[in-house]
């Protein structure tokens, strides 16, 4: 097991990474002993891991109840959230209760937001079981549900007590979700670490083959990079926005195609191709580096072309992006491989051309 630390003053927390961790009572005990715990998860994950987690919680001295939510992005809704509150109230969880988010990004976002606002905020633990959740969404405290007009439009910054990332749980992950998680791994390299991009280019087949050592390295390095950014800018007043590389286009793809049609990681992958194209056209990235971005994404088995929504629809969907300031959409551009920056002054024509270049 390796343990990193996200440094946020009194909200600092450990990120444990290793095989078999989700059944380890000692990792839960400091947070749940003598408490009431609600384990929020979905039916698929529950079938695989719920019993093991509840056993570990019992060993750690907690009384736990499961709260099952729908599978998939549609669970990030008012209706499902309200059912979670119902379950927490029925289980008489007080302010000293603890929520455990057991599952992928959807469960983490939903359960984390439920914990953020239930009785004005109770603590929670992230136990991510997908690669995407382990390398990205479980770390950093962003929680949210979707709104009909945009993804993650309603949410909170609410840091977990700890992240318990069990890489053995990736063995059961569907192929498509593994690749979607690799998209966020690659993203961390593109925006922050050229050496990690070199490593990914050399090891992408090992990741796709789920070699344990390669996966563990990818999870650890991704969490390290993300933790540094979050420690420097918890609430995204500046630097943290670079983690959204590929996400402005990506959110438009997800919303335009209908939530759940594209996995988040797939949309981000294509969004990164568009953002690299935009970077090349804006003159911050060499053309050959934009091709390098696209090539690695394609090698990971991820889509490099977006759905044919029509360019105007893309622009409309991007208008509600949370990074927009005074109505102007802002983009994360690559400033060479391994460096990123936020730009809000880009010409509409460049944006249109970059979308057009990556359409099906």
Angle at 181 between CA 175 and CA 186, to 5 degrees: 125
Q: Which residues contact 130 (CB under 8 A, 6 or more apart)?
A: 103, 104, 105, 169, 170, 173, 177, 181
CA distance 159 to 201: 32
Contact segment (CB under 8 A) with a copy of itself among 178-186, 189-197, 265-273, 318-326 equals 318-326
Cα Rg of the chain, angstroms:
20
In whole angstroms, the minimum distance from the beta carbon of 121 to a copy of itself comes to: 7
Q: Of the candidates 42, 71, 43, 40, which has an alpha carbon nearest to the alpha carbon of residue 54?
A: 40
Residues 165-204: x where in contact with a copy of itself by CB under 8 A, - otherwise, as a string? ----------------------------------------
Q: Tell me whether residue 134 or residue 143 sits nearer to a copy of itself (CB atom).
A: 143
CA distance 45 to 102: 7
Residue 7 found at the interface with a copy of itself (CB under 8 A): no
Q: Does residue 314 sit in helix, strand or coil?
A: helix
Among 21, 144, 178, 340, binds a copy of itself (CB under 8 A): 144
In whole angstroms, the minimum distance from the beta carbon of 120 to a copy of itself comes to: 5
Q: Of the candidates 196, 204, 194, 200, which has an alpha carbon nearest to the alpha carbon of residue 337?
A: 194
Token pair of 257 as six digits: 């195609």
Residues 21-40: x where in contact with a copy of itself by CB under 8 A, - otherwise, as a string? -------------xxx----
Residue 86 found at the interface with a copy of itself (CB under 8 A): yes
CA distance 352 to 273: 14
- 145 touches 115 (CB < 8 A): no
Q: Which of residues 233-262 bind a copy of itself (CB under 8 A)?
A: 235-236
Q: Tell me whether residue 104 or residue 150 sits nearer to a copy of itself (CB atom).
A: 150
Catalytic residues: 120, 142, 184, 226, 236, 240, 244, 247, 251, 264
* Residues at the interface with a copy of itself (CB under 8 A): 34-36, 78, 82, 85-86, 89-90, 92, 94-96, 113, 116-121, 142-144, 147-150, 152-157, 235-236, 319-320, 322-327
């Amino acid at each position: 097991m390796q343990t990193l630390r996200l440094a946020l003053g009194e909200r600092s927390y450990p990120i444990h990474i290793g095989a078999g961790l989700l059944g380890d009572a000692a990792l839960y005990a400091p947070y749940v002993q003598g408490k009431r715990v609600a384990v929020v998860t979905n039916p698929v994950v529950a079938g695989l891991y719920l019993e093991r987690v509840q056993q570990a919680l019992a060993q750690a001295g907690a009384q736990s109840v499961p709260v099952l939510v729908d599978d998939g992005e549609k669970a990030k809704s008012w209706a499902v959230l309200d059912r979670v509150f119902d379950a927490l109230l029925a289980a008489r969880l007080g302010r000293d209760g603890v929520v455990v988010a057991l599952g992928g990004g959807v469960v983490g976002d939903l359960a984390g937001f439920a914990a953020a606002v239930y009785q004005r905020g109770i603590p929670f633990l992230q136990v991510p079981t997908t690669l995407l959740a382990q390398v990205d969404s479980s770390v950093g405290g962003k929680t949210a549900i979707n709104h009909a007009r945009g993804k993650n439009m309603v949410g909170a910054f609410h840091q977990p007590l700890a992240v318990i990332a069990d890489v053995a749980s990736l063995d059961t992950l569907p192929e498509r979700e593994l690749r979607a998680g690799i998209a966020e791994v690659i993203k961390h390299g593109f925006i922050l670490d050229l050496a990690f991009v070199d490593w990914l280019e050399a090891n992408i087949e090992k990741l796709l083959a789920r070699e344990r050592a390669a996966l563990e390295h990818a999870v650890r390095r991704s969490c390290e990079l993300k933790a540094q950014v979050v420690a420097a800018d918890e609430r995204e007043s500046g630097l943290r926005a670079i983690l959204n590389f590929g996400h402005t286009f990506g959110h438009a793809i997800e919303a335009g195609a209908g939530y759940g049609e594209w996995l988040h990681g797939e949309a981000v992958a294509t969004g990164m191709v568009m953002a690299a194209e935009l970077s090349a056209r804006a003159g911050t990235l060499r053309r050959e580096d934009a091709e390098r971005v696209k090539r690695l994404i394609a090698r990971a088995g991820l889509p490099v072309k977006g759905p044919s929504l029509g360019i105007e629809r893309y622009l409309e969907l991007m208008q509600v992006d949370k990074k927009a300031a005074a109505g102007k959409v802002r983009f994360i551009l690559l400033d060479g491989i391994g460096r990123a920056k936020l730009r809000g002054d880009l010409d509409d024509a460049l944006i249109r051309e970059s979308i057009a270049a990556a359409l099906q």
